């Protein structure tokens, strides 16, 4: 009975962490795949990786890239305006 209790606790832990849901989604995707991949394990690894939450550092870098793109566009526009002013004089 102690073993069943440990299993149930572990199952609840996996459910609370979202592991069971993620595994179910990936297994359903594999089941619904019209042409089964050569490596089911690679399919699972790839799709589980896609379901994993983003690393906070990656998200911060994405935001930084977006900000840099905006600044770059602003500098390009300013450069264009300054070139136009120089040609006028």
pLDDT of residue 12: 94
Q: What is the pLDDT along the chain (89 residues), one digit of tens a residue?
A: 788 889 999 999 999 998 999 899 999 999 999 999 999 998 988 888 766 666 788 888 889 999 999 999 999 999 999 999 998 76
pLDDT of residue 56: 80
pLDDT of residue 4: 85
The two tokens of residue 15 are: 């459910």
CB 29 within 8 A of CB 48: no
Q: What predicted TM-score, i.e. pTM, was given to this entire model?
A: 0.51
Task: Please tell me the distance from the alpha carbon of residue 49 to that of residue 16, in angstroms, as a whole number.
Answer: 19
pLDDT of residue 51: 60
Q: Report H helices in the chain.
A: 2-16, 19-32, 40-51, 56-88
């Amino acid at each position: 009975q102690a073993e069943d209790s440990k299993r149930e606790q572990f199952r609840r832990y996996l459910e609370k962490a979202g592991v069971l849901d993620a595994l179910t989604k990936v297994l359903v995707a594999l089941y619904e795949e019209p042409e089964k991949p050569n490596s089911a394990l690679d399919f699972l690894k790839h799709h589980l990786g896609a379901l994993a939450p983003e690393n906070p550092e990656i998200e911060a870098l994405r935001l930084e890239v977006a900000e840099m793109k905006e600044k770059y566009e602003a500098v390009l526009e300013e450069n264009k305006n300054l070139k136009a002013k120089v040609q006028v004089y």
